[in-house]
Amino acid sequence: MLSSKQRAFLRGLANQEDTILIIGKGGLNNQVINQADTALTARELIKCKVLETAELSPKEYAEQISKATNSDVVQVIGTKFVLFRRNNKEPKIELPDEKIKKR
Protein backbone atom coordinates (compact mmCIF):
# COMPACT_ATOMS: atom_id res chain seq x y z
CA MET A 1 0.00 0.00 0.00
CA LEU A 2 1.35 3.37 -1.02
CA SER A 3 1.34 6.43 1.21
CA SER A 4 0.04 9.75 -0.10
CA LYS A 5 3.61 11.06 -0.31
CA GLN A 6 4.68 8.08 -2.40
CA ARG A 7 1.61 8.43 -4.63
CA ALA A 8 2.42 12.08 -5.23
CA PHE A 9 6.02 11.17 -6.09
CA LEU A 10 4.85 8.50 -8.57
CA ARG A 11 2.29 10.86 -10.15
CA GLY A 12 5.14 13.27 -10.85
CA LEU A 13 7.18 10.52 -12.51
CA ALA A 14 4.16 9.38 -14.54
CA ASN A 15 3.79 12.82 -16.15
CA GLN A 16 6.89 12.14 -18.23
CA GLU A 17 5.95 8.54 -19.13
CA ASP A 18 4.39 7.56 -22.44
CA THR A 19 1.14 5.61 -22.57
CA ILE A 20 2.15 2.01 -23.26
CA LEU A 21 -1.11 0.09 -22.79
CA ILE A 22 -4.36 0.94 -24.59
CA ILE A 23 -7.66 -0.76 -23.85
CA GLY A 24 -10.33 -0.57 -26.56
CA LYS A 25 -13.56 -2.29 -27.48
CA GLY A 26 -11.94 -5.70 -26.95
CA GLY A 27 -11.89 -4.93 -23.24
CA LEU A 28 -9.80 -6.78 -20.73
CA ASN A 29 -8.42 -10.17 -21.71
CA ASN A 30 -5.44 -12.35 -20.82
CA GLN A 31 -3.26 -10.68 -23.45
CA VAL A 32 -3.82 -7.21 -21.96
CA ILE A 33 -3.16 -8.49 -18.44
CA ASN A 34 0.03 -10.25 -19.59
CA GLN A 35 1.24 -7.07 -21.32
CA ALA A 36 0.58 -5.05 -18.16
CA ASP A 37 2.34 -7.65 -16.01
CA THR A 38 5.39 -7.73 -18.28
CA ALA A 39 5.56 -3.94 -18.47
CA LEU A 40 5.26 -3.59 -14.68
CA THR A 41 8.13 -6.03 -14.20
CA ALA A 42 10.32 -4.13 -16.66
CA ARG A 43 9.37 -0.54 -15.76
CA GLU A 44 7.57 -0.63 -12.37
CA LEU A 45 5.42 2.35 -13.42
CA ILE A 46 3.09 2.25 -16.44
CA LYS A 47 0.54 4.59 -17.93
CA CYS A 48 -2.56 3.15 -19.59
CA LYS A 49 -5.37 4.61 -21.67
CA VAL A 50 -8.97 3.48 -22.09
CA LEU A 51 -10.63 4.33 -25.41
CA GLU A 52 -14.22 5.58 -25.59
CA THR A 53 -15.27 2.32 -27.27
CA ALA A 54 -14.39 0.28 -24.15
CA GLU A 55 -17.21 -1.14 -22.07
CA LEU A 56 -16.02 -0.12 -18.59
CA SER A 57 -14.69 3.09 -17.07
CA PRO A 58 -10.95 3.71 -16.67
CA LYS A 59 -11.33 3.35 -12.89
CA GLU A 60 -12.93 -0.09 -13.26
CA TYR A 61 -10.21 -1.27 -15.67
CA ALA A 62 -7.50 0.12 -13.38
CA GLU A 63 -8.89 -1.81 -10.41
CA GLN A 64 -9.23 -5.04 -12.40
CA ILE A 65 -5.71 -4.88 -13.85
CA SER A 66 -4.31 -3.88 -10.47
CA LYS A 67 -5.91 -6.91 -8.84
CA ALA A 68 -4.77 -9.27 -11.62
CA THR A 69 -1.16 -8.01 -11.59
CA ASN A 70 -0.86 -7.39 -7.84
CA SER A 71 -0.03 -3.72 -8.43
CA ASP A 72 -1.19 -0.40 -6.96
CA VAL A 73 -3.38 2.14 -8.72
CA VAL A 74 -1.48 5.42 -8.46
CA GLN A 75 -3.90 7.69 -10.30
CA VAL A 76 -6.96 7.74 -12.55
CA ILE A 77 -7.59 10.93 -14.54
CA GLY A 78 -10.01 11.10 -17.44
CA THR A 79 -9.29 8.21 -19.78
CA LYS A 80 -5.84 7.43 -18.36
CA PHE A 81 -4.59 5.59 -15.31
CA VAL A 82 -1.21 4.80 -13.77
CA LEU A 83 -0.13 1.55 -12.11
CA PHE A 84 2.92 0.79 -9.97
CA ARG A 85 4.47 -2.47 -8.80
CA ARG A 86 7.89 -2.74 -7.17
CA ASN A 87 10.34 -5.09 -8.86
CA ASN A 88 12.08 -6.63 -5.85
CA LYS A 89 14.84 -8.25 -7.93
CA GLU A 90 15.85 -5.12 -9.88
CA PRO A 91 14.19 -1.99 -8.42
CA LYS A 92 14.26 1.01 -10.75
CA ILE A 93 12.29 3.56 -8.74
CA GLU A 94 13.26 4.56 -5.22
CA LEU A 95 10.21 5.68 -3.29
CA PRO A 96 10.47 8.33 -0.59
CA ASP A 97 10.41 6.75 2.86
CA GLU A 98 7.68 7.44 5.32
CA LYS A 99 9.06 9.39 8.23
CA ILE A 100 7.60 8.22 11.48
CA LYS A 101 7.03 11.03 13.93
CA LYS A 102 8.16 10.22 17.42
CA ARG A 103 6.18 11.64 20.29
The pLDDT tens digits of the residues spanning 19-66 come to 999 999 999 999 999 999 999 999 999 999 999 999 999 999 999 999
Share of the chain above pLDDT 70, in %: 94
Give me the half-sphere count of Cα atoms (radius 13 Å) on the Cβ side of residue 74.
25
pTM above 0.85, yes or no: yes
* CATH homologous superfamily for the domain 4-84: YhbY-like (3.30.110.60)
In the chain, where the domains are located: 4-84
Helices 58-69 and 30-43 pack at an angle, to 10 degrees, of 70
50 Cβ contact partners less than 8 Å away, ≥ 6 residues apart = 22, 23, 56, 57, 58, 61, 79, 80, 81
Tell me what pLDDT residue 97 has: 79
Q: Would you place residue 98 in the very low, low, confident or very high pLDDT band (cuts 50, 70, 90)?
A: low
Tell me what pLDDT residue 1 has: 83
